[in-house]
């Protein structure tokens, strides 16, 4: 008879978890992580980076500490107060390292999108506590967990965007009934509302399937967030905000949400966009990807030619 852990290993592949406290380097994570993050923050500051975002989301260690699935019994798991201890200790170590006048925020999950994961009540609590701690901004995401990632092929690494939670993080245009756009808005709005109700003005960033100016503007006007994040659309057209600002919205190259770019990333290839990587390959001075078949950067836009 297989144990639950053995059955999961057969289904999803063997992997370490923050709850494997019988392993010394995992047991010591609460002691190690604050110094690791703060030293990285100092390097970023010395390199001239304007600010940093602590990654508390997706398949990363800090997200695992925050998760409702974290059942450590050493004071860093179980209750939501215990699960947020390491993230707060990391933030405080980083703040001490870089000073009060340096921008430090974090990205965390508004919804884990996994069975037994954190509820909205808990993620709202996390957001309020992060704001109370003094973070300069909160950036939300969703899903992208190892918990439901597919079993990798022999010789390959597990990839956290292959299960339901991965789909929720980066939905495709051919979607379920909820559609691919703005799936993270309701949960983010709830977190922002709770932060405001607690008397704080910490800016909240919302990401997830934002692909046009009207949608982004509506999110801001409705108070869903204070800042809109849009990665895939910005890859499809790095000039899209500039085009809209100067009256050339018709020229915006709209993301088709096929996750072509994500597929390249999954295979550890240079990431490009299928909407522009085959355009004008013989153009003078064009930079090509290492395979010699794709543009490495988007075509330069000239408004005079539009």
60 classed as catalytic: yes
Q: Considering 12, 60, 161, 173, which one is annotated as catalytic?
A: 60
In 136-281, where do the E strands start and end? 138-142, 204-206, 227-228
Q: Contact, 90 vs 62, CB < 8 A?
A: yes
Annotate 218-228 with b (16+ C-beta within 10 A) or e (fewer): ebeeeebbbeb
DSSP state of 149: P
**Distance (Å, whole) CA 116 – CA 114:** 6
Sequence-ordered list of residues with C-beta below 8 angstroms from that of 245, at least 6 positions apart, any chain: none
Which among 150, 61, 75, 154 is positioned nearest to 108, based on CA atoms? 61
CB neighbourhood size of 185 (10 A):
22
The set of catalytic residues is 60
């Amino acid at each position: 008879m297989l144990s639950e852990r053995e059955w999961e290993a057969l289904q999803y592949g063997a992997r370490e978890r923050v709850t494997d406290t019988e392993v010394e380097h995992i047991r010591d994570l609460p002691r190690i992580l604050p110094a690791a993050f703060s030293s990285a923050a100092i390097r970023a500051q010395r390199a001239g980076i304007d600010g940093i975002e602590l990654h508390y989301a997706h398949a990363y260690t800090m997200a695992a500490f925050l998760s409702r699935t974290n059942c450590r019994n050493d004071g860093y798991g179980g209750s939501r107060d215990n699960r947020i201890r390491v993230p707060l200790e990391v933030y405080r170590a980083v703040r001490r390292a870089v000073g009060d006048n340096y921008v430090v925020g974090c990205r965390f999950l508004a919804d884990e999108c996994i069975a037994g994961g954190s509820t909205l009540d808990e993620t709202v609590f996390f957001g309020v506590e992060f704001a109370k701690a003094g973070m300069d901004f909160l950036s939300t995401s969703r899903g992208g967990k190892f918990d439901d990632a597919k079993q990798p092929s022999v010789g390959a690494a597990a990839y956290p965007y292959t299960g339901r939670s991965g789909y929720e993080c980066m939905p495709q245009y051919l979607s379920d009934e909820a559609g691919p756009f703005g799936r993270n808005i309701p949960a983010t709005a709830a977190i922002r509302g709770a932060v405001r109700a607690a008397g704080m003005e910490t800016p909240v960033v919302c990401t997830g399937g934002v692909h046009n100016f009207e949608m982004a503007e509506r999110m801001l006007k409705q108070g869903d967030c204070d800042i809109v994040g849009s990665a895939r659309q910005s890859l499809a057209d790095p000039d899209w905000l500039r085009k809209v600002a100067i009256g050339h919205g018709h020229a915006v190259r709209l993301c088709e949400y096929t996750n072509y770019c994500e597929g390249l990333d999954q295979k550890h290839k240079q990431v490009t966009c299928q909407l522009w990587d085959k355009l004008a390959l013989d153009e003078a001075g064009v930079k090509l990807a290492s395979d010699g078949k794709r543009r490495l950067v988007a075509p330069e836009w000239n408004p005079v030619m539009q």
